C-alpha cells in the first residue's frame, strides 16, 4: 500500500508498506487508515484513493479487489469520511495512473518528434505488472464507464487466454518459469535466451497496443507499472508488430512511450477531488 501527501502538485511525503492481502476486511482497512493517519495534518482537505478493482465511484463502493479476497464489497468512501472527516473520492488504480500522467505532463506531449506540435486530447495509460490495467482519457477527461470498468483491456481474449496472461508478469512465470525481474537482470547481463523471451513479450505487447489503437485511436499510449522499466528490452519487437497496423498514419502519429513520472498513480489519485 502506498500513501502519499500531496501539496501544490508535489508529492512531499509517502508511506509504503506491504499489504496484508490475505487478511480480513477489517485488517486491510485498519492498515490503510493507519498509513493515512501517519501523513494526516490539519491542512489536508481531501483524500483520493486508487484501488485495483471495480469501483462505484459515485458512492465510493469497492468491489472484488484483485489479490485481496476479503474486499468483495467495501464502502470505502463512507468509512474513510467517517474516520477522517474530509471528502473522499475512490477510483480504479489504472485510472489514477492515467490521471497522473495526463495532469502532470507526459500525456500532453506531441505524438511524434518529427510532427508539428499539437494539443492531444486523447490518451490511454497502460499499467503492466502483475496484471494489465488501462485508464482512458477522452477529450481531456477521464472516461470511467459503468463502475470504472472501462479499460479492462487485459481481459480481452488473446491466443489461448487473454492479453493479461501474455502481457504481464504472468507471461514470464507461467510460460517461462522465472519472474520478469529475473529475465530483466539476465537480459541486461547479455543472456541471449532472456533477450529472446523479451522479444516474444514485445510482440505480445504490440498486439495489445494494436487493440488499443483499433478501439480508441489515442494521441498517446503511455506505459507504466513494474514492467515499464524494461521497455528498452521489448520496444523493438513491439514496434515491429505495431507496424502491421493497417493505418500507417496512426502508427506514425501515435506516441508510445514508457512513463517517466514517479508515483504517477499517487499523484493522479490526488486529483480525483
Q: How many helices (H) and strands (E) does the chain have?
A: 10, 14
pLDDT at 66: 85
| Domain-wise residue ranges, the chain | 2-96, 109-260
2-96 and 109-260 share one fold = yes
pLDDT higher than threshold 80 for residue 41: yes
pTM of the model: 0.92
Q: Domain 109-260 is in which class?
A: alpha beta
Question: Given pLDDT bands bounded at 50, 70 and 90, which one contains residue 245?
Answer: very high
**pLDDT tens per residue across span 52-105:** 999 999 999 999 998 899 999 999 999 999 999 999 999 999 999 999 999 987
Set of cell numbers at residue 31: 492498515
pLDDT at 120: 64
Q: C-alpha dihedral over 151, 157, 159, 162, to 10 degrees? A: 60
**pLDDT tens per residue across span 101-117:** 999 876 554 333 333 33
Q: What is the mean pLDDT of residues 28-47?
A: 97
Question: At residue 239, what are phi and psi to the nearest 5 degrees?
Answer: -70, -35
Domain 2-96 has CATH 3.30.420.40: yes
pLDDT at 35: 98
Set of cell numbers at residue 241: 508488430
**pLDDT tens per residue across span 168-217:** 999 999 999 999 999 999 999 999 999 999 999 999 999 999 999 999 99
Question: Given pLDDT bands bounded at 50, 70 and 90, which one contains residue 118?
Answer: very low
Q: What is the mean pLDDT of residues 219-244?
A: 97
Question: Does 200 or 118 have the greater pLDDT score?
Answer: 200
**Which DSSP letter does residue 117 get?**
P
Set of cell numbers at residue 261: 513520472
Cα gap 113→64, rounded to integer Å: 42
Strand boundaries in the chain, DSSP class E: 2-7, 10-16, 47-51, 54-56, 61-63, 73-74, 88-92, 123-128, 132-138, 141-143, 157-158, 161-162, 220-224, 255-258
Q: What is the mean pLDDT of residues 4-29?
A: 96
Cα gap 264→86, rounded to integer Å: 23
Contact between 105 and 72 under an 8 Å Cβ cutoff? The reply is: no
Question: Given pLDDT bands bounded at 50, 70 and 90, which one contains residue 121?
Answer: confident
Amino acid at each position: 500500500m502506498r500513501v502519499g501527501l500531496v501539496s501544490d502538485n508535489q508529492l512531499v511525503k509517502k508511506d509504503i508498506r506491504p499489504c496484508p492481502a490475505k487478511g480480513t476486511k477489517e485488517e486491510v482497512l485498519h492498515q490503510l487508515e493507519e498509513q493515512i493517519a501517519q501523513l494526516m495534518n490539519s491542512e489536508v482537505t481531501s483524500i483520493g484513493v486508487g484501488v485495483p478493482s471495480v469501483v462505484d465511484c459515485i458512492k465510493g463502493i469497492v468491489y472484488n479487489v484483485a489479490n485481496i479476497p476479503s474486499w468483495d464489497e467495501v464502502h470505502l468512501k463512507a468509512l474513510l469520511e467517517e474516520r477522517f472527516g474530509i471528502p473522499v473520492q475512490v477510483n480504479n488504480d489504472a485510472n489514477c495512473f492515467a490521471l497522473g500522467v495526463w495532469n502532470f505532463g507526459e500525456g500532453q506531449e506531441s505524438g511524434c518528434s518529427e510532427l508539428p506540435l499539437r494539443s492531444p486530447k486523447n490518451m490511454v495509460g497502460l499499467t503492466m505488472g502483475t496484471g494489465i490495467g488501462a485508464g482512458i482519457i477522452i477529450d481531456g477527461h477521464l472516461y470511467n464507464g459503468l463502475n470504472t470498468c472501462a479499460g479492462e483491456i487485459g481481459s480481452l481474449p488473446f491466443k489461448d487466454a487473454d492479453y493479461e496472461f501474455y502481457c504481464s508478469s504472468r507471461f514470464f512465470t507461467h510460460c517461462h518459469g522465472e519472474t520478469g525481474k529475473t529475465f530483466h537482470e539476465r537480459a541486461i547481463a547479455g543472456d541471449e535466451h532472456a533477450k529472446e523471451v523479451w522479444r516474444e513479450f514485445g510482440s505480445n505487447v504490440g498486439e495489445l497496443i494494436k487493440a488499443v489503437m483499433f478501439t480508441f485511436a489515442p494521441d498517446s499510449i503511455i506505459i507504466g507499472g513494474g514492467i515499464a522499466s524494461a521497455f528498452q528490452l521489448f520496444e523493438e519487437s513491439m514496434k515491429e508488430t505495431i507496424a502491421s497496423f493497417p493505418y500507417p498514419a496512426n502508427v506514425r502519429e501515435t506516441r508510445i512511450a514508457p512513463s517517466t513520472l514517479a508515483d504517477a498513480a499517487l499523484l493522479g489519485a490526488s486529483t480525483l477531488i
